[in-house]
Amino acid sequence: MADTADRFAAYRASFRLDGKIALVLGAASGIGRASAEAMAALGAHVICADRNRDLVEEVAAELSREGAGGSAHVIDAAKAENVRALAAAVLAKHARVDVAVTTPAIHVRKLMCDYTDEDYDRVADLNLRGTFYFLREFGRIMGRQRGGSLIASSSVRATTLEPGLAIYGATKAGIVQMVRGLASELGPLGVRVNAIVPSIVETALVTPLKARPEVFNALARHTVFNRWAEPREVGAAVAFLASDAASYVTGTAMLVDGGWTAIDGAPTGLTKTHAE
Amino acid at 55: L
157 touches 201 (CB < 8 A): no
103 touches 31 (CB < 8 A): yes
Per the annotation, the verdict on 115 as an active-site residue is no
248-251, long-range: CB < 8 A, 24+ apart: 249/192, 249/194, 250/183, 250/187, 250/192, 250/193, 250/194, 251/179, 251/180, 251/183, 251/184, 251/187, 251/193, 251/194
Query: Rounded to an integer, what is the distance from CA 34 to the centroid of its chain?
Result: 9
Q: Which of 115, 120, 168, 248 is catalytic?
A: 168
In whole angstroms, what is the distance from residue 249 CA to residue 132 CA? 21
Amino acid at 45: H
Closest by Cα among 45, 25, 187 to 100: 25
Catalytic residues: 168
